A and B are shown apart, each in its own frame.
Chain A
């Protein structure tokens, strides 16, 4: 099974900050990775697919990069509505696996 790790597990940031979250896979997954945002009481929402493609309707301050085993999600200028938990998901092979999540809260 492919294990996904994320760092940090949580972070505190201010509006306007640049935020970077890292996801690492235990083996190469090409670019078969997505990033999801989840707010309390809501279903996850996809932000990025294929590691670096922006989901339609998602603000351009979100970007993804990486391939193989290391991936990053960057928020260029954090907005109030971005405080949430972020998950990566590998879907190259079963079982599909999510990272443990990164909670972004207000400093």
Chain B
């Protein structure tokens, strides 16, 4: 069974950093692109960042570019999101999602909540 399990969320002050992790199970991690998607409280879905299976392509939303860094460790079946210079508007539930080849996201984690507040 495919599973993605996020961790690392919490309450953090503006300007500080946080690192999210996503552990994956049930599929060959290094065959697939993986992404982060977030959802602010009561709002819609926002794509944040993605990384290809071989790390050849990494992309970010403009809203996080220069502050967030996506990475993956294929040996550990894990995806990461290093978030620096956090802002109140980064407050959201952060999901990791597996990309199904050319067909969008077929599996999602349950999310980890990041709250940026003083």
Contacts and interface: CB of A to CB of B under 8 A. Distances in A.
B108 A98 contact: no
Contacts of A44: 45, 95, 105, 108
Which size class do A's interface residues fall under?
20 to 34
**Interface majority SS (helix, strand, loop, mixed), chain B:** strand
A96 interface: yes
Contacts, number: 59
Which size class do B's interface residues fall under?
20 to 34
Interface string B16-53: 00000000000000000001000000001111001000
Given A43-B95, A94-B50, 19 more contacts: A32-B102, A43-B108, A43-B109, A45-B108, A49-B103, A55-B106, A89-B47, A89-B104, A91-B103, A94-B59, A95-B47, A95-B59, A96-B50, A98-B44, A98-B45, A98-B46, A99-B44, A100-B44, A101-B45
Interface of B: 35, 44-47, 50, 59-62, 95, 99-100, 102-106, 108-111
